[in-house]
Structure 1
Amino acid sequence: MPENWKDIKKPPVPATAVTAAQVANGPVIPPQQRLMTYSPDEWEGFVEEWVYYCLATKYMHVQRFSGAGDMGIDVAGFIDDKRLQGVWDNYQCKHYDHAIRPSDVWVEFGKVIWYSYNGAYTAPRRYYFVSPRGAGTSLSRLFADATKLRGELIANWDKHVKEAITSTQAVSLDANLRAYVDAFDFSIFDAKTALQLVDDHRTTPVHTARFGGGLPSRPASEKPPQQVAAAESRYVTQLLGAYGEHTGTIVTDPSALSASKFKDHFRRQREAFYEAESLRVFARDSVPPGTFESLLDDIHDGVIDTHDANHADGYEKVCAVTKAARDMQITANALITCTNPKDRDGICHQLVNEDRLRWTRS
């Protein structure tokens, strides 16, 4: 056997046990690495989410330009109502299978210079290239040296810019335009890295749906205030009615609850309601719209038969329905990994607030 041949050896055994998640989903791929695998359509979907959730909060107006005649503007964030004649930032979103090179974007520099020179808009305050692989080494070095970037653009104008700005004319770098280029602030140009995009996107309610990785930690819920809030009035009225049915008395105020059993039960139900309300807020910020509402529907569907069954009184009904909610098997909803039994009790009271469940007939 030739000396440069060798036997195949058994690969090393993993140092840790393989988990069920690894078997089901494979190794975890960091979001910034996953961006690099995106098709143009997948990249477009990510950009739409990033613009909607991450940029809209930073500006008075955000608009996306498309089609011919966009004047080198892709996504514009406007600081004031003057829009293109006021203070604004430009985000040029590109999909390449490589990090952005200077030759990819010389014409983009030319467009913003030409159209701001002509008065079509004021020069943007900041101009970012947004691409899954970010800027390459050569372009990043130019971003770090505004003077060199200006010089390189001038040197490449005739080859890469002159004929590409508009289809209606060649844009020569005459004396007036050259003077404008010499005075232009090239420090406005930069590129967003994939990590920056992912960090922005991580704060959105659609991040885990796109990239996985689990939900963020859920904050502690607020404690119920001493006085019943207006948002609690319907389910509290129903609860008091349920206690009244059980004791054969009329209960119109929590302070009238004499037995410690009912006082403790009422306190726990209010705590559960506020726990569920905190879950609603957490869902709004952490998962796609409709996820929490889907959980409400699941619990409603799971307890409705118990709700509609015969019960001795309203209190017995409350106890039976909340127990059914806690005993339910829910596996599909994204929030189920961070819910607790109190959430389920509280959701029952939220359903009473929405008039989808009732503890008493009145």
Structure 2
Amino acid sequence: MSKALPTELTAAQAISYYSGDEWEIFVAELVEGLSADSAYVLVKRMGGPGDLGIDIAGFKSSQGFEASWDGYQCKQYAKPLSPAAAWVEILKVIRAVVAEECVMPEAYIFMAPKGVGLSLNKLLRQPSKAKLEFSKWLQDHNPTPAMSPLERASVEKQMSETDFSIFDAMQPREIITLHSKTRYHSLRFSTPLPDRNVTVPDDIGGLTGEEARYVDQLVAVYQQRHPDDILTRETVAEHPAKGTHFRRQRRAFFRAETLRVYARESTPPGTFEDLQSDLHAGVIEVADNDHADGYARVQSVLSESGKIDLANHRLVEKTDHEDRKGICHQLVNDERLTWIDGTQ
């Protein structure tokens, strides 16, 4: 964050300290979290000079501003948002539509940590009255840059054709509630991660194409230990000596896969990948040591994975030793670990 904040703040208190830039980032996180329900194909920060009165845009198609989209206007003011402040931004959007820089959004939402004032809130609940008040304000307003008579006429025509029910605002409590459902909330406000539901059956079923490399590596390891046995992907799970070991490794792999999905839904991008990379850094030297055979290497690396200090990772609170072993197999799948030299 851009400021050193007092400790033990509530989320509502914390956002009031955000800079304008940090507030935009916060709102972008929230809008990204809404994208699954709103069908946004892209969420983009637009804030800055010439931003068309749009700080965050949620595009509903690859056509961007030429098709369906929603706009989110971020206002980090010391007081609740007033009608005059809102009219300035609405005018920017209407001017942008007139200039054919975008079509009118399907929704245009004001986002302010202090919320909107009573006057604006009432007007937003009465779209026809809001349009009337905006029209009155426009008659007396000389925007920068100034409008030519032709542009003013076009703006007034567009205003008359615009359904002002598209303009709305979120109050701070609603904003925080929606943000709490995003994968960014826990890290931003140091709250516990949501519960992780691990559903990996004891009998996982048939092998998937995504498992090819780590399974083949394990089969090669077992074959090295049992050279007289016929071991294949299809038969290894029933091998009398190593079948149980293999089934445990598959379960661990699938636990790690559920952790990957959980991280994608509950933590910021890159969180799981950072955990993988640190675990890799912790086991690679053990993997590179000399070992009696591939099986000894596997066991040494899996054992070492449980000893690595990963306390600086948020995901560690939802991770157990089986997950760590599964991540090792993911690393094999990604060709970052190899159990037997010279094998693929």
> TM-score when scaled to structure 1?
0.78
Question: For residues 174-210 of structure 1, what are the alpha-carbon distances to aligned partners after superposition, in whole Å with 9 as ceiling and x for unaligned?
Answer: 8x97777566422222102233333443344333222
Does the 8 Å CA contact 2:255/2:322 hold for their aligned counterparts?
A: yes
Residue 219 of structure 2 is aligned to residue 265 of structure 1: no
Does the 8 Å CA contact 1:59/1:79 hold for their aligned counterparts?
A: yes
Aligned match for 2:219, one of 240, 244, 248: 240
| CA displacement at 1:141 relative to structure 2 | 1.0
Question: For residues 223-271 of structure 1, what are the alpha-carbon distances to aligned partners after superposition, in whole Å with 9 as ceiling and x for unaligned?
Answer: 4642222222222222122222223434432525665442211111110
Residue 333 of structure 2 is aligned to residue 353 of structure 1: yes
- Taking the aligned partners of 2:159 and 2:296, their CA distance within structure 1 comes to 80
2:175 corresponds to which residue?
A: 197
- Taking the aligned partners of 2:75 and 2:105, their CA distance within structure 1 comes to 18
| CA displacement at 1:222 relative to structure 2 | 3.6
Residue 109 of structure 2 is aligned to residue 131 of structure 1: no
2:330 maps to a residue whose letter is Q
Identical-residue share of aligned pairs (%): 37
Alignment of 1:95-114 (within 5 A): 95-113=76-94
Alignment of 1:154-193 (within 5 A): 154-159=135-140, 162-164=141-143, 166-169=145-148, 184-193=162-171
Q: Report the secondary structure of 2:77's partner residue.
A: coil
Number of residues of Structure 1 aligned to a counterpart in Structure 2: 334
Does the 8 Å CA contact 1:208/1:215 hold for their aligned counterparts?
A: yes
Residue 205 of structure 2 is aligned to residue 226 of structure 1: yes
2:287 corresponds to which residue?
A: 307
Aligned match for 1:329, one of 298, 302, 309: 309
- Taking the aligned partners of 1:68 and 1:305, their CA distance within structure 2 comes to 51
163-172 or 84-93, which deviates more? 163-172
| CA displacement at 1:334 relative to structure 2 | 1.7
- Taking the aligned partners of 1:60 and 1:300, their CA distance within structure 2 comes to 33
1:214 corresponds to which residue?
A: 192
98-107 or 195-204, which deviates more? 195-204
Question: For residues 286-337 of structure 1, what are the alpha-carbon distances to aligned partners after superposition, in whole Å with 9 as ceiling and x for unaligned?
Answer: 2233322222232223223433334333223322221121233321122111
| CA displacement at 1:338 relative to structure 2 | 0.6
- Taking the aligned partners of 1:313 and 1:121, their CA distance within structure 2 comes to 64
Does the 8 Å CA contact 2:28/2:43 hold for their aligned counterparts?
A: no
- Taking the aligned partners of 1:285 and 1:35, their CA distance within structure 2 comes to 23
Q: Report the secondary structure of 1:299's partner residue.
A: helix
Does the 8 Å CA contact 1:251/1:257 hold for their aligned counterparts?
A: no
Does the 8 Å CA contact 1:243/1:251 hold for their aligned counterparts?
A: no
1:318 maps to a residue whose letter is V
Does the 8 Å CA contact 1:273/1:343 hold for their aligned counterparts?
A: yes
- Taking the aligned partners of 2:49 and 2:308, their CA distance within structure 1 comes to 55
Does the 8 Å CA contact 2:236/2:246 hold for their aligned counterparts?
A: no
1:101 maps to a residue whose letter is S
- Taking the aligned partners of 1:327 and 1:314, their CA distance within structure 2 comes to 20
Does the 8 Å CA contact 1:235/1:349 hold for their aligned counterparts?
A: yes
- Taking the aligned partners of 2:295 and 2:198, their CA distance within structure 1 comes to 29
| CA displacement at 1:347 relative to structure 2 | 1.5
- Taking the aligned partners of 2:209 and 2:64, their CA distance within structure 1 comes to 42
2:133 corresponds to which residue?
A: 152
- Taking the aligned partners of 1:180 and 1:151, their CA distance within structure 2 comes to 14
| CA displacement at 1:96 relative to structure 2 | 0.9
Q: Report the secondary structure of 1:327's partner residue.
A: coil
2:3 corresponds to which residue?
A: none
Does the 8 Å CA contact 1:221/1:274 hold for their aligned counterparts?
A: no
Aligned match for 1:59, one of 16, 35, 40: 40
- Taking the aligned partners of 2:102 and 2:290, their CA distance within structure 1 comes to 71
198-207 or 33-42, which deviates more? 198-207
Question: For residues 48-69 of structure 1, what are the alpha-carbon distances to aligned partners after superposition, in whole Å with 9 as ceiling and x for unaligned?
Answer: 4345554596335555545555
- Taking the aligned partners of 2:332 and 2:44, their CA distance within structure 1 comes to 41
Does the 8 Å CA contact 1:111/1:165 hold for their aligned counterparts?
A: no
Does the 8 Å CA contact 2:185/2:191 hold for their aligned counterparts?
A: no
Q: Report the secondary structure of 1:108's partner residue.
A: helix
1:252 maps to a residue whose letter is L
Residue 242 to residue 124, structure 1, CA distance change in 2 (3 Å): closer
1:9 corresponds to which residue?
A: none
- Taking the aligned partners of 1:81 and 1:259, their CA distance within structure 2 comes to 52
- Taking the aligned partners of 2:26 and 2:165, their CA distance within structure 1 comes to 27
Does the 8 Å CA contact 1:272/1:343 hold for their aligned counterparts?
A: yes
Does the 8 Å CA contact 1:163/1:170 hold for their aligned counterparts?
A: no
- Taking the aligned partners of 1:108 and 1:245, their CA distance within structure 2 comes to 70
Does the 8 Å CA contact 1:158/1:172 hold for their aligned counterparts?
A: no
Alignment of 1:21-60 (within 5 A): 26-27=7-8, 29-51=9-31, 54-55=34-35, 58-60=39-41
| CA displacement at 1:343 relative to structure 2 | 0.7
Does the 8 Å CA contact 1:241/1:251 hold for their aligned counterparts?
A: no
| CA displacement at 1:73 relative to structure 2 | 4.0
Structure 1 stretches of 5 or more lacking a match?
1-24
2:259 maps to a residue whose letter is L
Does the 8 Å CA contact 1:163/1:171 hold for their aligned counterparts?
A: no
Say what the alpha-carbon RMSD is for the aligned residues.
3.3
